[in-house]
Amino acid sequence: MTHKADREARQLLRRLRRRNPHALLAVMGCSVRRDQASYRTMPEVDELLATEQDLAAFLDRVAGPEEGRGHACVPHFGDRTRAFLKIQEGCNFPCSYCIIPSVRGPSRSVPVEVVVEDFKALLDAGYREVVLTGVNSGEYGKDTGFRGGLAGLVERLLAVPGRYRIRLNSLEPRAVTPGIRTLMRREAALAKHLQIPLQSGSDAVLRAMRRNYRAAFYEEQLRALAEEVPGVGIGADVLVGFPTESTADFDATLALLERSPIAFVHAFTYSPRPGTAAAAMPGIPQREAAERTRRVRVLGERKHLAFAARFVGRPLSALTLAPSPDRGRALTENFLHVALPRPEGPNRFVTVTLRSAGSEGFAAELVEA
């Protein structure tokens, strides 16, 4: 949660109201739970859903108890090729910069049976890729006693008949277990792609952030994943400009990223969140933090291009997306967005061959459907 995200959320609400003046506009999420007062002053907003109870009551009121509570309402996602399925909410981790535990509460898992039911509903609605999401989805099942954990849940979903692809969204370093790596290597229906938050390559900063791992452990997890799952696309989140981050700390982050098998880097500039321990720490100059973020992003772009270049001339499994007017688009299992020479119908599993990988994008040709 950042100030930028809060601002963009309010801009989106105003835009939605302009485009849909008579719609019922309800708002929920972390920002609402943390700062209800500011949303109550917005004339664009009809309903604030600050808690799960608020949401349940709202669904009962607008859709009726049977529709509202029965998981019969399938969400709509863009071009109906990729859907997002929440399997977990909340977080137990005490990271010093994060407000999420106080606004979303402790980790809570969606029951296995409900996840499977909702997964089947998304497939029946025509989605062919389902992304499993959560605040800290690697903690799945620990609050319910489900012994299989996240790997066990994925195995249950993979037992559902049909042609589809499951993608794991983001896992904390300690959640990248041998079971998860085995499934990614063995199961063609599980995408070879994973986002693993790093935040910092400095142990001193990781301690100040109250992260539950150190840089060497993170690197070992990435090494094991890259060795056991050939071709896997690994992403990393990096929080730049933390209040205690020295020049040496930042250099350690750059060095770790440089030598790692990371293919995607999401860099964010630290912004203090009221109510967190880090908010009371004296920060580094904003200009310096912005310059460090820029350097991480430049390195990330170079790593991304180098990763893509490895696959030029090699076949890749992909899912076609909604085409642009003059060309097709597809997403490979290891998360490369590729352009096809002509429009192709969306929502088809195809084999593509990457022809070029440059700063202007990745061009591929269709081999077979």
Percent of the chain with pLDDT over 90: 70
* Helix/strand/coil percent split, the chain, to 5: 40, 20, 40
Burial class (CB in 10 A: 0-12, 13-18, 19+), 248: exposed
What is the CA 242 to chain-centroid distance, rounded?
22
The answer to whether residue 231 scores a pLDDT higher than 50 is yes
Residues of the chain with CATH 3.30.750.200: 227-310
Q: In angstroms, rounded to a whole number, what is the distance separating the alpha carbons of residues 186 and 119?
A: 21
Name the more confident of 81 and 83.
83
Residues of the chain with CATH 3.30.750.210: 76-191
Residues of the chain with CATH 2.40.50.140: 315-368
Chain segment 296-334, per-residue pLDDT in tens: 999 999 999 999 999 999 999 999 998 888 899 999 999
**Residue 75 — pLDDT band, cuts 50, 70, 90?**
low
Q: For domain 76-191, give its CATH number from 3.30.420.10, 3.30.450.20, 3.30.750.210, 3.40.50.300.
A: 3.30.750.210
Q: Which residues does 157 contact at the CB level (< 8 Å), separation at least 6?
A: 115, 116, 119, 130, 166
**Long-range CB contact pairs, 43-47, < 8 A, 24+:** 44/13, 44/14, 44/16, 44/17, 45/13
| First vs last C-alpha separation in the chain | 40
The answer to whether residue 77 scores a pLDDT higher than 70 is no
Which CATH code for domain 315-368? 2.40.50.140
Name the more confident of 47 and 188.
188
pLDDT averaged over every residue in the chain: 90
CATH fold of 227-310 reads: Transcription Regulator spoIIAA (3.30.750)
For residue 308, which phi and psi values (nearest 5 degrees)? Answer: -60, -40
Q: Is the dihedral of CA 113, 116, 121, 122 positive or negative?
A: positive
* Residue with the two structure tokens 């990271």: 95
For residue 357, which phi and psi values (nearest 5 degrees)? Answer: -140, 105
> What is the pTM for the complete model shown?
0.85
Burial class (CB in 10 A: 0-12, 13-18, 19+), 351: middle
123 near 130, Cβ under 8 Å? Answer: yes
Chain segment 25-55, per-residue pLDDT in tens: 888 776 777 677 778 888 888 888 766 667 6
Q: In angstroms, rounded to a whole number, what is the distance separating the alpha carbons of residues 1 and 135?
A: 12
The pLDDT value recorded for residue 211 is 97
269 near 4, Cβ under 8 Å? Answer: no
